Amino acid sequence: GCRELILALGRARDMERAALVATRSEQCGRLLNVQAFTALVEVACRAGRWKQAEDVIGQMEEAGVQPNAVTYTALMNSLGKAGQWRRVEKLFARMAESGVQPDAVAYTTLMDAYGRAKEWDAAERVLGAMKAGGVEPNVITYTTLIDILGKHGQWHRAEEALEEMQSKGLEPDRVTYNVVMDALARAGKLAEVREAMERMRQRRLRPDKYTYTSLVLAIGRQPRSRIAAEAANVLAEMKADGVKPDQFIYSALFNTLGRSGRLEPVAALEEAVEREGARMDRETYLAALDAYGRCGEWELCESTWERMLEDGFNPSKGAYAVRFHALCRCRQWPRAKALLAEMRAAGFPVGSKLYTSLLSGLAKERSWGLVGEVLQAMRAKALHVDTFTYTRLIVEAVRTEEWTQMDALMEQMKTGNPTGRDSKYFDTIREALVMQQLEEGASNEARIRVKRIIAEEAAAKQGETRDEEHTARSDSAPDFNPHVEPAGQLNQQTDGEAEELVSNGGLVAEVPREEVKVFRF
């Protein structure tokens, strides 16, 4: 029918013909029903044209066709994935106000939108709203909530959600167990992850690669001394469960074994990859390179980089960053510095973060002369030396009792970035000074500088207060920002993009003299 044809054209990304089908149907007297209108909404959502999808819902109401839960949910799902959670809220409320009873799918879609926006507590409240509205949560609802809670460090709540789900007679499936194990793994609960895997097997649910990824993640959160032993049998366990490791698993294992700081298990894993005949992709090579860097083996880092290039993987900016940090971990400062020049020659911009890592390493080595050279190079390239960079350098100066360097850095910070001297900046330095006082054999210099820091912070705050009073006296006009938009609407940039889409042939309903609707993308 019309709906199937519109959806087929939407999957083919032929938006113009999908709109033409809708228009021709109207012209031939075949009025679009709710299914056909919903198909148009889904087509617009697939193209990321949320404003046009909302317009279709408005056209439905004008035509006397009541949108159903599927119509609203299609748009809510698209908006949620785009991070437009406030618009999802408004659409959900509009659905209820129009007399459409939200179903479990609609509630779950709202919950997912909150989760993507990192509003885990709001996502949890949706479950209570479902129950109050007489809608029973299903397995997908609970699985979605467990996943959201786990990703935001709320593993206790995730376990409670699982228990509640089971108390209602709902059986967890493989996806549910996987998100539970992911929540536990992020909290480093290795024993609990293994228990969950065993419960899966008891329910005749075979673990998959996502299950083992959580296991490897949990192992990586253990003390360094335990990591290699815990990871030793992972590949054998996978083989027993009939799970073939892929590049994703191998990358996770390299990352985990690298945290142990031991070369032997990392080298053994690379041998196992070769023995299995598995082809390493760019991410696997970079994970291996990073692991060798954590082991202090810079030569193996460089040979891994060369093999990656020989396999036809061109380096990206992120790949250069991994190699750079590996060289820094191996204290290969001249090589790391030369790599920054290589990055620029390859056309990749070098930002302040990479320089900050190099500066921090040089400061730990007390190479203050090189620190000065790098800072000068940053300024010559018009790179802003931010508060974070200065703070890390000052803390290293405190730790090594380089008081002259500390004073010089603080003066540079005061001159070059006075607005960056916020409370966090002062708190971090004061804490470092206090910790240094507790060191055995520490000099009295730290105590003297604590008093100086307190005085500087008070002076900085007093200066801010004077600036605020001056601003308040000079501002005679009311505080009005013409760019602030009502809550729930798109921000200025998004609105501009929507207007551009419409002007370039977006989904618009026109009413000609013969009162025939025209749908255009």
Q: What 8-state DSSP symbol labels residue 169? A: T
Give me the helices (H) in 187-233, please. 190-202, 209-220, 224-231
Residues 160, 233, single domain; the answer is no
Number of domains in the chain: 3
Residue 378 pLDDT:
84
Residues 202, 175, single domain; the answer is yes
- Burial grade of 472 (CB within 10 A; 0-12, 13-18, 19 or more): exposed
Residues 310, 401, single domain; the answer is no
Decide which of 412, 438, 454 is a domain's last residue: 454
Residue 50 pLDDT:
66
Residue 361 pLDDT:
85
Residues 309, 241, single domain; the answer is yes
Decide which of 284, 309, 338 is a domain's last residue: 338
- Per-residue pLDDT of the chain (521 residues), as tens digits, is 555 555 565 555 555 555 555 554 543 434 455 666 677 666 666 666 667 777 777 777 776 777 788 888 888 888 888 888 998 999 899 888 888 889 999 999 999 999 999 999 999 999 999 999 999 999 999 999 999 999 998 989 999 999 999 999 999 999 999 999 999 999 999 999 999 999 999 999 999 999 999 999 999 999 999 999 999 999 999 999 999 999 999 999 999 999 999 999 999 999 999 998 888 999 999 999 999 999 999 999 999 999 999 999 999 999 999 999 999 999 998 899 899 999 989 999 888 888 888 888 888 888 888 888 888 888 888 888 888 888 888 888 888 888 888 888 888 888 877 667 777 778 778 777 877 766 666 677 877 777 787 777 777 776 655 555 554 444 443 332 323 333 333 333 333 333 332 233 333 233 333 333 333 33
- Does 516 reside within a domain? no
Whole-angstrom Cα distance, residue 104 to residue 96?
Answer: 13
Helix (H/G/I), strand (E/B), else coil: 504: coil
Question: Which residue range is the domain that position 438 belongs to?
Answer: 351-454
- Does 322 reside within a domain? yes
DSSP labels, 89-144: HHHHHHHHHTTPPP-HHHHHHHHHHHHHTT-HHHHHHHHHHHHHTT----HHHHHH
Whole-angstrom Cα distance, residue 4 to residue 388?
Answer: 55
Residues 148, 187, single domain; the answer is yes
Residues 361, 449, single domain; the answer is yes
Whole-angstrom Cα distance, residue 420 to residue 219?
Answer: 39
Residue 30 pLDDT:
45
Helix (H/G/I), strand (E/B), else coil: 245: coil
Whole-angstrom Cα distance, residue 443 to residue 182?
Answer: 47
Residue 166 pLDDT:
93
CATH of the domain at 313: 1.25.40.10
Residue 193 pLDDT:
95
Planar angle of CA 486, 491, 492, nearest 5 degrees: 105
Residues in the chain: 521
Helix (H) / strand (E) element for 314: namely none
Whole-angstrom Cα distance, residue 383 to residue 373?
Answer: 14
Residues 205, 287, single domain; the answer is no
Whole-angstrom Cα distance, residue 122 to residue 145?
Answer: 11
Looking at the DSSP bridge assignments, the partners of residue 510 are 518
- Does 286 reside within a domain? yes
> Nearest 10 degrees: CA dihedral of 283, 287, 288, 292?
150
- Does 307 reside within a domain? yes
Decide which of 401, 430, 454 is a domain's last residue: 454
Residue 226 pLDDT:
95
Task: Evaluate whether 485 touches 492 at the Cβ level (below 8 Å).
Answer: yes
Residue 444 pLDDT:
79
Residues 239, 317, single domain; the answer is yes
Residues 305, 239, single domain; the answer is yes
- Does 415 reside within a domain? yes
- Does 480 reside within a domain? no
- Does 411 reside within a domain? yes
Residue 519 pLDDT:
34
Residue 157 pLDDT:
93
